[in-house]
Amino acid sequence: MALAQNTFYDTHPRPVTLTNAHLVEDAAQIWLNSLVGIDATSGLAIPYDGGLTAFMGLATHERLGTSGVYGAGDSRGEIVIDVSGPQIKVPVTAAASAADNGLPVWATDDGTFTKTDPTGSLPVGYIRNWLSGTTCWVQLLSAQEFFAQTT
């Protein structure tokens, strides 16, 4: 289910954390630690929808889109995105055992992870370590790794 509030995950950042700032599409609500995508038409940040939206990374704070108020270069309308691909501890639908380690993970929205490709989209990461039940450490792909899948 899409996030409706800020979310707090156990995280392990990569040794070098890279961030990128993007204007947020008008009326789009991006929550802390939600997955962020870039709208292919506008180039603005939106909550990741699991479809054909380009995955960028994890939101470092909350932001309500006001691109109609703040223009390019005005940080008041921007979201800062961790594009380096941190590890996060999350439930992954259909994960069931250590045999799932290394398998790809898809996102159906900005906060729901699954082991099953729901839409023909690209994975956003992989199961680094299954813990118990459906809880796993997921290694998110960096934005660069995500885009490398498309070439």
Range of weakest confidence among 17-21, 23-27, 75-79, 109-113: 75-79
User: Last residue of a domain, which of 82, 102, 123?
Assistant: 82
30-56 mean pLDDT? 91
Buried b / exposed e over 9-41, threshold 16 CB at 10 Å, is eeeeeeeeeeebebbbbeebbbbbbbbbbbeee
Give the integer Cα–Cα distance in Å for 94 and 145: 24
Q: Does residue 82 contact residue 88 with C-beta atoms inside 8 Å?
A: no
Which pLDDT score, from 0 to 100, does residue 78 have? 87
> Assign residue 33 a region: left if phi > 0, alpha if psi is -120 to 50, beta otherwise?
left
Residues 76 and 95 in one domain: no
Which pLDDT score, from 0 to 100, does residue 119 have? 77
Radius of gyration over alpha carbons of the chain, in Å?
15
pLDDT band (50, 70, 90) for residue 77: confident
How many independent structural domains does the chain possess?
2
Residues 23 and 74 in one domain: yes
Domain of residue 69, CATH code: 2.40.300.10
Q: What is the mean pLDDT of the chain?
A: 91
Residues 61 and 111 in one domain: no
118 within domain boundaries: yes
Residues 68 and 91 in one domain: no
Q: Does residue 58 contact residue 81 with C-beta atoms inside 8 Å?
A: yes
Compute how many other C-beta atoms are within 10 angstroms of the C-beta atom of residue 99. Answer: 10
**Taking the model in full, what pTM does it have?**
0.91
Residues 6+ apart with CB under 8 A from 81: 19, 20, 21, 22, 36, 45, 56, 57, 58, 59, 60, 143
4 within domain boundaries: no
115-135 mean pLDDT? 93
pLDDT of 151 over the 90 cut: no
15: domain range?
11-82
35 within domain boundaries: yes
pLDDT band (50, 70, 90) for residue 141: very high
Residues 70 and 131 in one domain: no
